[in-house]
Structure 1
Amino acid sequence: MNEYDVIVVGGGPGGSVAAKVAAEKGLKVIMFERGRKSGEKNSSGCGLGPRMWRDFPEMMKELTPDKVPSMRPGGAARCYFVNKDGVVSGYVMSRPTESVTYEPAKSFITMNVYRSDFDPWIAEFATRAGAVLKTSTLVVNLIKDKGKVIGVQDEKGEKYKAPVIIGADGAISMVAKKSGLRHKWEQDQITVVPQYDFSADPKKIDDVMGDEALAVWWSAVFPAAYQVFFRDGFHIGLGNWLTWWDKNPLYYLNKCVNLKYFQRIMKLIDAKPRELQAHLLPWMSYPVNTHTDNVILIGDAAGFPCPLEAEGIYPAMVTGKIAAEVAVKRIAEGDTSKKALALYDEEWKKTSIGDEFESGAELAGIWRKLPFTPKTMEWFIPMWMELLGGIYDWSEPHVVRVRQIIAKIQSYQSEFVPFAMKYVMPLLAEVLKDDIDSLKNMNDLIQKMLPKKKK
């Protein structure tokens, strides 16, 4: 039997970081990838958040277009608002705001890449550190002794042994299932995400979109769709929890693609369909069952995508790093039991991932009931557009229009107030729990600023 200190199942970003960190600490590490290279089985794209440059600076400074040709920085993002008649009734474009505290977050919102470019690039860090990357190898089973995992077996029957196995094998995790950590996801824990990939003329993308590389299509006729631009193309996709779908997901995605406004963008940048893709994505309020004796789950395998918008690469890398550090410590101590590996949960909770999940239930709840629920958007979008665009109307004197806008917004109280009380207020209470006193002071200040009513 082949013996190692750490076995990493899955050669994506999280697995690569785990293998890199463990190898740098002197451990004998092997990482398994089912494709001929990392990323081969994942043709989708993704947005890399600025936190990756802050928390993994030595790695990310090497990310350049010559190494990852699909790179496109997103200096701006746009939200489109589609009403119940399927018409884009307005949109908002935004850039990093003045409250952002560091570079490169001040310069871009996301850096968009295709995983087929990015994954092999990041896997090189693991092999340079000394980890063995075994490609074209599907791990199909775990080896156990007295009920505890001691290794893995590949599809050819080859066996590998290690005191710690790190499951970085995605949403449909063999490691999670075979270790007993999770038999399957509950339907309200996982989403199905179909998307179309389009090729497009890079120059036309530059000319038409500028540095806009990310868009969200908020809609009253389909769940919110996301659009991500790369150097020579873009994705358009949408998702929802398995409990939601009443029709084939492509029915709703096609509603977005067939919008006149969307078709106009496609024509301007000479977009052509390239591929239909679909994947499952865990979307949870809080990760559970992340480790057991000799086993640690990271990234999607453990349910770590952000509870608000399901960002996945950064959480995978952070949890991969922590899993490796815990493995190094516990292997040195000679104790890789479930109790000893509980240090993993203690450590990830101290990171920005832990901060995200402090309000996980509230974040997931508001996202589920607002952009992912077209019925809610039937009243939210016209109310929102009254706030954003009504004042620009010239149909009446502006003072009259302001009164009309206020009256119209008030007409949505029967929908908005219950929604706000059920979903918005719990989120604000959680997020602002340490700032209640300052909010009270702000309210006093506002009251003092208001003009006194004439007697």
Structure 2
Amino acid sequence: MIRLSVFDAIIVGGGLAGSTAAYVLAKQGLEVLIVERGNYSGSKNMTGGRLYAHSLEKIIPDFAKEAPVERRVDKEYIGMLTEKDAFVIKYHSPRLAAAGSDSYVVLRGKFDRWLFDKAEEAGAITAAGVKVDQLIVEDSRVTGVICAGEEIRANVVILADGVHSLLAEKAGLREKVRPSQVAVGVKEVYQLPAKVIEERFGLAGEEGAACLFAGTPTNGLTGGGFLYTNRESLSVGLVLSLQHIGENNKTVEEMFTNFVSHPEIAPLIKDGKLLERSGHMVPEAGLSMVSTLFGDGFLICGDAAGFCLNIGYMVRGMDLAIASGELAAKAVIKAKEKEDYTASSLKVYKTLLDDSFIMHDLSVYKKFPAFIENERLFNQYPTMISNMMADIFVIDGTPAIPLRKRMKKHISAAGIMNLVRDGIRGVRSL
């Protein structure tokens, strides 16, 4: 491994947050080492997902022209599923693809590797396939890392090592992540010809679709199903709250099988060749999960800091990871100007975060994670909507009943007061 006596920064984790931090620091001429335990960046990440472009666009303008993005999202689908039924809303607009508000489906194994390489091109020293065993802590200050018994020193260590951030926990820098704060994501990738994907989703050229589903996919657990269109494959999966998985009467495998077999999903992946199965833990508790962000000689960013936003109809993590990596780098640059790497100097990172969209957006939706811990959202309400749609559209020759009476029947079954209370809570959480 190439090393200096002391690096300006060592970054642990070569995902989006870590690679962005390394890129920004290296572009400013700082001596940076980025360590990734996978054989290459992205090798241990779930394949597939959605990247809102705004944060990376500010750092690497027109990045999508060279980056291995799959498709630009032009269509949004939000659906509620019961065992056999589906109620799906589609939104299709050129505003989704406009510069500044565009987003892309990406395969993380490809995209993360590209960004990691961009950091190396900018001058960062990269080390893939290397595991950091522990942090070096001296007089309550982080001064480096230990890899395979070798000590490597730095003025600052940036932890971007994923949702658990085991290094921070082991060193006592943050509390252990609780099951209620995370979700488990499971995903499969199915290969299909580009033409078939475009026909099934009504896409043209580079257009793509992002689909989110609630209801039976999670068998009453907090979470949902998703489907993203890649160039020549589909990423399909579930995200489920970890806290109550063991209490459910179905295994994760059974829930996933039911999801991909659903009449709404099965035709979309029909004849697809299974390429990959993967699983991953993701932060899920929003602002309440954000704890220690900085200290003497260290910063925490990305998933390790808990930066993820799930508001049901939209899931964001990549843009927050990239922006937090950039801000961590800016904090290190400011610290280097003063040659002061104590917590009092590095707290500028928190100031930068507070002034950014990251903390603003997390604060706006801080009540939403608690709101969706409501089984009615995943059981009664999808069933209610499905039954309402059936009463509206199914004609079988029986004498008609006034629509208002039919709707009232289904509302009463779900509970009028439940709807009122949940409606008020939902509005307040958003």
Structures share fold, TM-score greater than 0.5? yes
State how far apart, in whole Å, the 2-side matches of 1:56 and 1:318 are. 10
User: For residues 235 and 101 of structure 1, do their structure 2 counterparts lie closer, same or farther at Cα, with a shift above 3 Å needed?
Assistant: closer
Equivalence map 1:136-285=2 (5 Å): 136-155=129-148, 157-211=149-203, 212-220=208-216, 222=218, 223-245=223-245, 246=248, 247-267=250-270, 270-285=271-286
Matched, 1:37 2:40: yes
From 31, 46, 50, give the equivalent of 1:47: 50
AA paired with 2:125? V
Q: In structure 2, what is the equivalent of residue 91 of structure 1?
A: 88
CA distance in 1, matches of 2:423, 2:404: 26
Larger radius of gyration: 1
Code of the aligned partner of 1:127: E
* Structure-to-structure mapping, 1:275-424, within 5 angstroms: 275-286=276-287, 287-308=290-311, 309-369=314-374, 373=375, 375-385=376-386, 391-392=392-393, 401-408=402-409, 410-412=411-413, 414=415, 417-418=417-418, 420-421=420-421, 423-424=422-423
Structure 1 residues 365 and 387, CA gap change in structure 2 (3 angstroms): farther
Aligned to 1:436: none
Please provide the CA RMSD for this pair.
2.8
CA shift for structure 1 position 215? 1.3
For 1:337-366, what per-residue CA distance to the aligned partner results, in whole angstroms no more than 9, with x for missing partners?
223322212211221111221134322123
Which deviates further from its counterpart, 22-31 or 113-122?
22-31
In 1: Cα distance, 2:420 partner to 2:296 partner: 43
Q: One-letter code of the match for 1:81?
A: M
Shift of 1:104: 4.9
Question: Structure 2, unaligned stretches of length 5 or more?
Answer: none
Give the Cα separation in 1 of the matches to 2:387 and 2:100.
34
Shift in Å at residue 49 of structure 1? Answer: 1.4
> Quick check: which one's strand share is greater?
2
1: CA distance, partners of 2:59 / 2:377: 44
Secondary structure of 1:153's match?
Answer: strand
SS in 1 for 2:60: helix
The residue that corresponds to 1:442 in the other structure is none
Greater Cα offset, 258-267 or 280-289: 258-267
What's the CA shift string for 1:354-391, capped at 9, x where partnerless?
1221134322123332xxx3x54332124334666755
The SS at the match of 1:255 is: helix
Residue 60 of structure 2 corresponds to 59
Task: Quickly say closer, same or farther: Cα 1:350–1:200, change in 2 above 3 A.
Answer: same
Distance 2:298 2:258 in 1: 43
Query: Matched residues in 2 for 1:398 and 1:328: separation?
Result: 75
CA contact (8 A) 2:46 2:279 kept: no
Q: Is the 8 A contact 1:284 1:360 kept in 2?
A: no
The answer as to whether partners of 2:73 and 2:97 remain within 8 angstroms in 1 is no
Q: Cα deviations across residues 100-122 of structure 1 (Å, max 9, x unaligned)? A: 796353xx5x3101011111221
Q: Contact 2:285/2:369 (CA < 8 Å) preserved in 1? A: yes
SS in 1 for 2:37: coil
- Whether the 8 Å CA contact 1:197–1:276 is kept in 2: the answer is yes
Q: Indicate if the aligned counterparts of 2:234 and 2:269 stay in contact, CA closer than 8 A.
A: no
Deviates further, 201-210 or 359-368? 359-368
Aligned residue-pair number: 412
Distance 1:412 1:332 in 2: 65
* Counterpart-to-counterpart distance in 2, 1:187 and 1:154: 29
| CA distances 1:312-341 after superposition (whole Å, capped 9, x unpaired) | 211111100111111111222232222332
Q: Do 1:391 and 1:398's aligned partners in 2 also have CA atoms closer than 8 Å?
A: no
Q: Residues 404 and 386 from structure 1, CA distance in 2 versus in 1: closer, same or farther, beyond 3 angstroms?
A: farther
Tell me if the contact between 1:9 and 1:166 (Cα under 8 Å) persists in the aligned partners: yes
Measure, in 1, the Cα distance between the counterparts of 2:260 and 2:141.
Answer: 49
| Alpha-carbon offset, residue 204 of structure 1 | 0.6
Query: How far 1:398 moved relative to its partner?
Result: 13
Separation in structure 1 between the aligned mates of residue 284 and residue 426 of structure 2, nearest angstrom: 17
Give the partner amino acid of 1:233: S
Q: Which residue number in structure 2 is paired with residue 446 of structure 1?
A: none
Q: In structure 1, how many angstroms separate the alpha carbons of the residues matched to 2:141 and 2:286?
A: 29
Distance change (3 Å), C-alpha of 1:339 and 1:58: closer
Q: Given residue 51 of structure 1, which amino acid in structure 2 is its aligned partner?
A: H
Amino acid at match of 1:349: D
Amino acid at match of 2:356: T
Q: Residues 124-144 of structure 1: CA distance to partner in whole angstroms, max 9, x if unpaired? A: 332232211122211111112
Residues 1:45 and 1:231: Cα distance change in structure 2 (over 3 Å)? same
Partner of 1:116: 109
State the TM-score, normalized to the length of structure 2. Answer: 0.86
Q: Which amino acid aligns with 1:23?
A: A
Long gaps (5+) in structure 1: 432-455
Q: 1:40 to 1:382 in 2, by over 3 A?
A: closer
8 Å contact from structure 2 (residues 184, 282) kept in 1: yes
Match of 2:99 in 1: 103
2:6 corresponds to 1:3: yes
> In the aligned structure 2, how far is the partner of 1:88 from the partner of 1:413?
18
